[in-house]
Amino acid sequence: MAVLPIRFIGDPVLRQTARQVSPEELASPEMQSFIDDLVETMRAAKGAGLAAPQVGNPVAIAAVCIEDNPRYPYKPNFPLTVFVNPVITVLSDETRSLYEGCLSVPDLRGRVERSMHIRVQAVNRHGEPIDFEVKGLTAGTFQHEFDHLIGMVFVDRVTDPSTFCNWANFDAFYRDDFVQEAEAIVAEFG
């Protein structure tokens, strides 16, 4: 496995719509090795998720894994999930404004309105169908990664630019209040 270089905002690959992956391509040793590298890169960067375009490969593959993440201690744990060719369906009109950051947009945070209940339909890395619902902060994480597959970055969804801040200022001025909000979301949605 290898840690791949993460692409940063301004790189055209982050603005492409990722192409679908065929079952044959997904099963190939090259693609399986790429998925291993994607997961290794996500873990090395301490990300809650990572999408293939973020490492320069515009294919519809992303991973989410939250295991006591020090960058996001308020996010509930969620097991490693690799999803390929996903479709996300919003299941509730309920939304919350969440502070988000992104490995492709270093040292920047901002508030994004996210749906609190979604359905994810995709195939896993072995080509088997997966279909599940997620709520709360986890739903926001999946939406964030899905956005990468349609050529969007979280900054595109920030409706109030005054919420942009770097990590140091987030920690100094906004973290405590947001952690309380996040804990309330976890209590409500799990």
Catalytic residue numbers read: 145
Residue 125: CB partners within 8 Å, gap ≥ 6? Answer: 26, 32, 35, 82, 84
Cα–Cα distance for residue pair 176/13, rounded to 1 Å: 35
Are 72 and 100 in contact by the 8 Å Cβ rule? The answer is: no
Are 52 and 59 in contact by the 8 Å Cβ rule? The answer is: yes
Could you give the 3-state DSSP secondary structure of residue 82? strand
Cα–Cα distance for residue pair 87/59, rounded to 1 Å: 14
> Angle 4-140-136 (CA atoms, 0-180°, nearest 5)?
135
Residue 32: phi, psi to the nearest 5? -65, -40
Residue 90: phi, psi to the nearest 5? -75, 130
Cα–Cα distance for residue pair 27/57, rounded to 1 Å: 16
